A and B are shown apart, each in its own frame.
Chain A
Amino acid sequence: MRRDYDVAVVGGGLVGAALAWGLARDGQRVVVLDEGDMASRASRANFALVWVQSKGLGMAQYMGWTVRSSDAWRQLAQDLRAQTGLDVCFERPGGFHLALGEAELAARAQRLKRLHNQPGAADTSVEVLDRAAVERMLPGIGPEVAGGSFCPLDGHVNSLRTLHAFHKGLHLLGADYRPGHTVHDVVPAQAGFRLMTSRGEVGAEKIVLAAGNANMRLAPLVGLKSPMQPNRGQILVTERAAPFLHYPLVTIRQTDEGTIMIGDSREETTDETMLDLSIAAVEADRARRMFPALGKLNVVRTWSGIRVMTQDGFPIYDQSERYPGAFVVGCHSGVTLAANHALVLAPMIARGRLNADLVGAFSARRFDVAKVA
């Protein structure tokens, strides 16, 4: 049973679903091939920030690309709501990065300075605030908070509902979503590609690899590369509480449902089945020092997720020279960049060509350059 598609998207997480949704809206016949229910899916484990400050140290183009997505998110949220009835609760009140103690504040200011001194850096209007200024916006901070940075472009969203909305949208657009179809091989064929999955073969004219860290293995099959270096993050979440935190922080945010999410570590392991409680304890401790009132809340769940991470931390968007119908898309911040993926990148892929002016900097060829240099 072989059905033909204009495009097969490998991976149904936030990146794959956003691209597939954008492609389907563009009139493409789309199939999404995904793993099963127990898959390691960063889209189910993320912190749901649409985040601008601190992005792009080492690649100024990434700053601009991030700002662009942050600006496009409102449109995306509206489109999803109009189509699916699901409110993904995108908000952009601006966001904080708080410092516990003067040393952390100085390090923060230093980092932002380096970020914005890069040639071609985008204007994010980020500013470093002292304790008094922070306290005016965030009453209830603990005595150790020395200050922080604030960026008016930062925001957050309900990322699980976003995943739900993309999938519902795909369904409504008539795209085929096939979970339980782990792709283990891709064979370039005469007019397109044959994808070998755990439940049979699928054919498509174009393919988009959006399989997270598995892109590393799949990309070489179609003349692409995607060097990855995954790591693990752990998150805690509390019971629902009445609204108390009106701005997201990089490590603490209150969701539209009222729960408070606290993140998020970075560990050099990729075992997501286990948890390090000592890390949860440090995260809880820092959250309590930032907002002492949080101490009384009940933590109801914790989880760890494996970050999709390229080797330099910046997105990889590439098109195969040998097999021009093959694309690879991989990045860490799939929530933040969802608007770009759905509204900007997907139409390029539908046309069959990545626009080098917009996304040329994200080609994986940069890793060759790095090796030569």
Chain B
Amino acid sequence: MSAGANPYDVAIVGAGPAGLGAAAITAGAGLTTLLLDENPTPGGQIYRAVTTTPLKERSILGGDYWAGAALVAEAQASGAEIVGGATVWSLDASRELAASWAGTSRFIKARRVILATGALERPFPIPGWTLPGVMTAGALQTLLKSSGLVPDGRLVLAGTGPLLWLFAAQLLRAGARIEALLDTTPWANYLRALPHVPAFAISRYAAQGLALRREVARQVEVVSGVTRLRAEGQGGLASVAFAARSGERRLMADVLALHQGVVPNVNLAMAAGIAHRWQPAQLCWVPVLDAAGNTSIDGIAIAGDGTGIGGALAAEAQGRLAGLAAVAAVAPERLARVPDRQLLAQALARAERGRALLDQLFAPPRWSRLPEGDTIVCRCEEVTAGQLLEAVGIGAMGPNQAKAFLRCGMGPCQGRLCGLTVTELISKARGVAPAEVGYFRLRPPVKPITLAELAAMAHTQRAVAAVVRE
């Protein structure tokens, strides 16, 4: 497949709810729209494989999942060019994307770019988290959605956040057995969340969330107030140890599924040079956006969980709003053909209701964000918390000097699995705010590409002169 209409009116990265919503609007208004996603099929994380899943029994994944089918169908019918298996590995301030699919990379220009790259699960750096048999709860969910696979053997879930309960319920409905759900939500969070109860009580999270908890608790041992969680084993998971009110415990386990919320996937946006700020309530970096949702770079918008965690419905509404802004910028005369801005804004407000409580209640505890000693922080380069603290001790003020000293964040994941931990650990060690510590400086390619693919891209005269000098 080639990029047909290059340059495009609109290029969208990420085919989750935000990207699909945006594409439906812009292509629906007649703008040439390219929607790229590195997954083979559209849907993003929540609607993963919604068009191809082997699961026919609808109750397993639930109505919220299947709602995605209509959104995918709408985007597909809109006339947008949707390319799966396409990894966007660079974006710059002139709105030029570099994307790789079918073994070839190409440059793509667009008048407006909408990043809808979503979220990833927050790092969960506990002792033993690199052992085979330990994976994220979202990974298990993906295996269920895409392939109808469920864990066989002793399964333990651990962590905090609304998604953990959803994952547990989906696995149970699919017939999996869960030995225990280890809830790491700190008691203090319940108190902190209290002021947000009124707004929460009327949100859709309230009824749904409580029902899920009841559904899970009926079938699984739920241990609350869990701390000191460790995965144990030689060359693979054998047991899970933790502390609870009742004291120290150890469970034999074949699979440990970890989850403590999701955080924006910032790599592409940061590599493009878009300004970000530390979001203290969600303990993560979010892009700096103006009232209309624009980033610090002209013509590049971000929608969905990439702007801060809001969930699928908020993501879809944000995506549609970003699509609308693109239509207004590129072809204002077509605005008559798109839905009313007011309605979309209302949908967004509805979807965001109750979020503040979730942020407070499910703020992951310090112990599971701030590892110590020999616990691995950077999985790729096998850098431990102790090494990182030693680097701070000899003068590394922030992630970039630490990276130079230790290689943390230099592996293929480019800090996605250690960046937040590194920022927070340095912040704790230095006694300054994460915002002051900062983040890794990111650069393209945000995903690895082969040397041959890079070599085959256009060579300008200027570039040749800068390299061949003798």
Contacts and interface: CB of A to CB of B under 8 A. Distances in A.
Indicate, yes or no, whether A interacts with B: yes
A168 B396 CA distance: 11
Interface in A256-289: 257, 262, 265-267, 273-288
A197 interface: no
B336 interface: no
A267 B391 CA distance: 33
Interface stretch (B283-291, B325-333, B444-452): B444-452
B92 A236 contact: no
Given A279-B463, A299-B454, A37 B438 contact: yes
Given A265-B467, A266-B469, A302-B443, A167 B405 contact: yes
A44 B462 CA distance: 26
A288 B454 CA distance: 10
Nearest to A17: B395
Nearest to B98: A277
A38 interface: yes
A108 to B, nearest CB: 6
Given A108-B470, A275-B443, A277-B98, A298 B463 contact: no
Contacts of B404: 41, 43-44, 160, 163-164
A88 B456 CA distance: 35
B463 A282 contact: yes
B458 interface: yes
B466 A267 contact: yes
Nearest to A43: B404
A200 to B, nearest CB: 16
B433 interface: no
Contacts of B394: 167-168, 170-171, 177
Interface in B392-449: 393-401, 404-407, 410-412, 414, 437-438, 441, 443-445, 448-449
A300 B467 contact: no
Q: Which of B92, B437, B458, B464 has the most CB of A within 10 A?
A: B464
B398 A36 contact: yes
Contacts of B437: 37
* Interface residue range, chain A: 35 or more
Interface string A180-204: 1000000000000000000000000
A107 interface: yes
Contact of B451 (A167, A179, A238, A303): A238
A91 interface: no
A55 to B, nearest CB: 14
Interface of A: 12, 34, 36-38, 41, 43-44, 104, 107-108, 111, 160-161, 163-164, 167-168, 170-171, 177-180, 236, 238-239, 257, 262, 265-267, 273-288, 294-304
**Lowest 3 CB-CB distances: which A-B pairs, in order?**
A37-B398, A295-B452, A298-B448
22 contacts: A12-B395, A36-B397, A43-B404, A164-B391, A167-B394, A171-B394, A179-B395, A273-B273, A274-B273, A275-B443, A277-B107, A277-B454, A278-B460, A279-B466, A281-B458, A281-B459, A282-B459, A288-B451, A288-B452, A294-B451, A300-B411, A302-B445
Given A164-B406, A278-B457, 13 more contacts: A37-B438, A44-B404, A164-B405, A236-B451, A276-B463, A277-B444, A278-B459, A278-B462, A284-B454, A288-B455, A295-B455, A297-B450, A298-B412
Interface of B: 90, 92-93, 98, 107, 273, 391, 393-401, 404-407, 410-412, 414, 437-438, 441, 443-445, 448-452, 454-460, 462-464, 466-470
